[in-house]
Amino acid sequence: MDKKATLRWYFGENRKEIHTRIVELVREMVKERTINVVTEKLPEYPFLKIRGEEYRVANIVKRELESMGIPYKEFSRAEGRPNVISRIGKNLNGKRLMMPAHMDIVPAGEGWETDPFEVVEKDGKLIGRGTLDNKGPLASILVAAEVIKKLGIDKELDGEIMIAALSDEEATDPDGTDYGIGYLVDEKLIDPTFAIVPDIGGNMKEIDVAEKGRAVYKITALGKQAHGSTPERGINAVYIMAKMVCELEKLKLDYQVHPVLGQPSLNLGEIHGGAAPNIVPGTCLIYIDIRTVPGMTKESILKQLQNCADSVPNGNFKIETQAWTEPHAIDPNNVLVHSIQRNASDVLGFEPKAFGMGGSTFAKGLNLNGVTAVGWGPGDDEAFHVSNEFVSIDQLIDFALMTCLIAVELLD
């Protein structure tokens, strides 16, 4: 039998054992409350000493890799927030396929029917915070590594599979310091050729080949404070901002429709102004979040925002760029996308379609640094960051098999 046939046979013969193995791994990882929020919100989670505490899940990952006999390295920008990267195969000048999953989670939030940190298995699904985002897929790729090692396929690969359990995907402090993929990329600690990021949902039917960029602006209207009983002596910054908000609502951003990403978006997400009823507000500020498509530049967007500001009579505004990431898009006609499509058609009976999204994943940082990275994986889009988060166990098993098949094909 060839390697792919052997893998399909193995998963067929051992599906029950693999099911149990994945469920147990997810159960154990979900118990660890690796909640990642900005430092400012940390006091709301008194059981956390630092945000994320991803080391709790990393300990499980390392234990498993050790028992499989798979070597790994640990890279941490800060104590307690490790990135565990294992390598299976031969380190010739071959190709490397990275499978990165993140170990941090968002808070449980409200509305759960069961304990979010005790996995419940029901109707073929696992329910709990992190079952889909991203501990379930992490269990899948660990099991894929285990099977490849167990069957001795690692010795026949011309390249390496990098199973990566990463920190810091769900939150970024205002200082912008990244402890996960950004750190690994900045410090040149990883060198993959390809990456599949299982963090987009779509039930394995969609391949994320493009992600919009993100630009966040803080706009402050500057007025003049005065006593609330004599508003004529002040300049009310809220009234000025109200006019600016109307201009922004009418704003048509300059762009060219992108074949995959389509058009940009603009969201006015926050507004703050005033301190008390008896004070004329001297400032009022808003935050806007623009998702960009290729071709849009920092300068051109800033100019358009300035034009809005200039059209407000007697307006006085300060516009500051708070965050800027570039959009990225790869040609869907590439070997990685084709391999996913071919194997999914053969095994799952459908061909995943290339698409683009407004949100961003680890794929962005990788692509912007020359790695052919896509988002693809199990799970329903609607199950991310909500109460009663769930993932289909069958999809987790299938994803483990698909990881093996795609790795074998790309690294053959």
Pick from 238, 391, 221: nearest CA to 320: 221
DSSP 143: H
- Residue 276 CB, shortest distance to Zn ion, in Å, is 41
Which contiguous run of DSSP H or E holds residue 306? helix 298-310
Question: Cβ closer to Zn ion: 160 or 199?
Answer: 199
- Residue 105 CB, shortest distance to Zn ion, in Å, is 8
Pick from 204, 185, 163, 199: nearest CA to 367: 185
Under rule CB under 5 A, residue 372 binds Zn ion: no
Question: Cβ closer to Zn ion: 36 or 134?
Answer: 134
- Residue 93 CB, shortest distance to Zn ion, in Å, is 32
Question: Cβ closer to Zn ion: 134 or 392?
Answer: 134
In the chain, the N- to C-terminal Cα span, in Å, equals: 15
Between helices 393-410 and 15-31, what is the axis angle to 10°?
Answer: 110
Pick from 351, 289, 354: nearest CA to 322: 289
User: Catalytic residue numbers?
Assistant: 104, 169
Pick from 98, 85, 61: nearest CA to 410: 98
Report CA 299 to chain centroid distance, whole Å: 27
Under rule CB under 5 A, residue 134 binds Zn ion: yes
Residue 202, classed as helix, strand or coil, is: helix
CA separation for the pair 357, 291 (Å, rounded): 10
Under rule CB under 5 A, residue 403 binds Zn ion: no
Question: Cβ closer to Zn ion: 138 or 260?
Answer: 138
Question: Cβ closer to Zn ion: 129 or 328?
Answer: 129
Site size toward Zn ion, by CB under 5 A: 3
- Residue 133 CB, shortest distance to Zn ion, in Å, is 4
- Residue 249 CB, shortest distance to Zn ion, in Å, is 32
In DSSP notation, 329-372 reads: E--S-SHHHHHHHHHHHHHTSS-PEEEEESS--HHHHHHTTT-E
Contact 37, 171 (CB under 8 A): yes
CA separation for the pair 41, 120 (Å, rounded): 28
Q: Residue from 160, 199, 211, 389 that binds Zn ion (CB under 5 A)? A: 199
Which contiguous run of DSSP H or E holds residue 89? strand 82-89
Under rule CB under 5 A, residue 140 binds Zn ion: no
Under rule CB under 5 A, residue 168 binds Zn ion: no
Residue that the structure tokens 């039917």 belong to? 205
**Region from 80-88, 128-136, 148-156, 256-264 binding Zn ion, contact rule CB under 5 A:** 128-136
Under rule CB under 5 A, residue 206 binds Zn ion: no
Question: Cβ closer to Zn ion: 338 or 385?
Answer: 385
How many residues comprise the chain? 412
Residue 363: C-alpha distances to residues 19, 86, 195 (Å): 28, 19, 7
Alpha carbon dihedral 391, 393, 396, 398, in 10-degree steps, equals -130
Residue that the structure tokens 């006015």 belong to? 268
Under rule CB under 5 A, residue 211 binds Zn ion: no
Question: Cβ closer to Zn ion: 134 or 339?
Answer: 134
**Region from 67-75, 191-199, 310-318, 393-401 binding Zn ion, contact rule CB under 5 A:** 191-199
**Region from 196-204, 212-220, 254-262, 401-409 binding Zn ion, contact rule CB under 5 A:** 196-204
- Residue 139 CB, shortest distance to Zn ion, in Å, is 14
Under rule CB under 5 A, residue 36 binds Zn ion: no
- Residue 182 CB, shortest distance to Zn ion, in Å, is 15
Under rule CB under 5 A, residue 133 binds Zn ion: yes
Residue that the structure tokens 């602006």 belong to? 217
- Kindly list the residues in this chain that would bind Zn ion in the complex (CB under 5 A): 133-134, 199
